Amino acid sequence: MMQEFDAPFWSWYIIVLTVVSLVGVALFLLSQRTRRLAPGEKAQQMEHKWDGDLVELNNPLPSWWVKLFWITLIFSAVYLVLYPGLGSFKGALNWTSFGEYDKEIEKAKAKYDPIFNQFMGQPVEQVAASAEARDMGQRLFLTYCAQCHGSDAAGATGFPNLTDKDWLYGGDAETIKASIANGRAGMMPALGAALGPDGARQVANYVLSLSGSNHDAGLAAAGKPLFEANCAACHMPDGTGMAAMGAPNLTDKTWLYGGSEGAIMEAINKGRVGNMPAQLQALGDAKIHLLAAYVWGLGGGMAAPAPEPAAEAAAPASEEAPAAAETPAAQ
């Protein structure tokens, strides 16, 4: 429906209405001019009277007041010529709020980017050890991240605690940086229809048993095969989770949505959808680098995973190998 207001008719409608209004106000001011009273002459009394002795006189407006009206009219006309305001007319200066915003952003980048960029060449762990970088990272965190994770980064229901060592996708520096830059989209499918109320309760008790939490042993025993058939693909058969998928570890006592039987059953029945928006486009590499260092340095950051051992080099072929070994199998 809003596209209908993009038609040229509406632009001309606004232009005509605005111009007619300005001209009408100017004509009204002209029509209200009165001659000045001569010395000793009394103002004409109008045919209005209130409260017995309160009368209206035909006194002219003060000249400064009239001039002020004309100044506002002239200012309005000049403004509408220079800036957008008359329908789709862009104004002689071709000014836009987007252009002004871009100029301010460029000015801010020229001033602040060198401050942020000084840490780009350093590893995240090294940046986290800098007091200056931590202060900068904290200010960025409070501006862009505290709304969800809290000012102390301790999180809330549905928003991870960034100060402990429990990580859905991994807590090493580069993984944290990737999470901030690219965002995360996690989804647990709803299994209520597949398991039914009894099955959901049985699985919930089995999940509670994995972390040693209070549970019903009989229900947990019945829930184990259901867990293996419906949940182990993501949470692994032993319930330790899968960081590559963001599937939580169910063997600890860290719960994103609550660790009671009811909360776990709700997650099983209805599923969960979690989304962390990507910040790279909004913040840029340098700020992401500082944020990752700050989060990593909160106390829960993990060391980078050890590199995989290089494969052993193949032994060179013996120079004394028989010539038959070099003969193609089929000729």
pLDDT digits (tens, 9 = 90+) for 266-324: 999 999 999 999 999 999 999 999 999 999 999 888 776 666 665 544 445 444 433 33
Q: How far apart are CA 73 and CA 323, in angstroms?
A: 102
Closest to 273 in 3D by CA, of 246, 252, 295: 246
Angle between helices 280-296 and 97-117 (to 10 degrees): 30
pLDDT at 16: 93
Give which of 216, 198, 213 is closest to 250, Cα–Cα: 213
Give the span between the Cα atoms of 161 and 155, in whole angstroms. Answer: 4
For tokens 């762990």, the residue is 125
Alpha carbon distance 28, 62 (integer Å) = 16
CA distance 323 to 124: 55
Regions of the chain short of the pLDDT cut 50: 1, 312-315, 317-331
pLDDT of residue 325: 33
CB 173 within 8 A of CB 301: yes
Q: How far apart are CA 124 and CA 54, in angstroms?
A: 81
Task: Output the six-digit token pair for 162.
Answer: 């960034």
Residue 300's pLDDT is 81
- Residue 104 pLDDT: 94
What does the alpha-carbon distance between residue 74 and residue 223 come to, in Å, rounded to a whole number? 80
**Can you give the length of the chain in residues?**
331
Structure tokens at 149: 């994770």
| Cα Rg of the chain, angstroms | 37
Contact 80, 15 (CB under 8 A): no
Provide φ and ψ at 55, rounded to 5°. Answer: -120, 160
Q: What is the predicted pLDDT for the residue at 55?
A: 77
For residue 29, the model assigns a pLDDT of 86
CATH number of 115-183+278-296: 1.10.760.10
Helix (H) / strand (E) containing 198: helix 192-210
The pLDDT value recorded for residue 65 is: 87
Residue 195 near residue 263, CB atoms below 8 Å: no
Closest by alpha carbon to 177, among 235, 229, 237, 137?
137
d(CA 110, CA 136): 17
Q: Where in the chain is the domain with CATH 1.10.760.10?
A: 115-183+278-296, 186-276
Pairing mode, strands 272-276 and 184-188: antiparallel
Burial of 45 (0-12, 13-18, 19+ CB in 10 A): exposed
pLDDT of residue 299: 84
pTM (2 d.p.) = 0.69
Q: Which two tokens stand for residue 127?
A: 């940046």
- Evaluate whether 172 touches 122 at the Cβ level (below 8 Å): no
Q: Which pLDDT score is estimated for 43?
A: 66
* 54-57/45-50 β-pairing: antiparallel
Q: What is the pLDDT of residue 328?
A: 32
The two most distant CA atoms of the chain are separated, in Å, by: 136
Please tell me the predicted confidence (pLDDT) of residue 290: 96
Residues 6 or more apart whose Cβ sits within 8 Å of residue 140: 283, 287, 290, 291, 294
What integer pLDDT is reported at residue 4 of this predicted model? 61
Of 1.10.760.10, 3.90.1560.10, 2.10.109.10, 3.40.190.10, the CATH number of 186-276 is 1.10.760.10
**Cα atoms in the 13 Å half-sphere on the side-chain side of 136:** 22
Q: What is the three-class DSSP state of 63?
A: helix
Q: How far apart, in whole angstroms, are the C-alpha atoms of residue 48 and residue 57?
A: 9
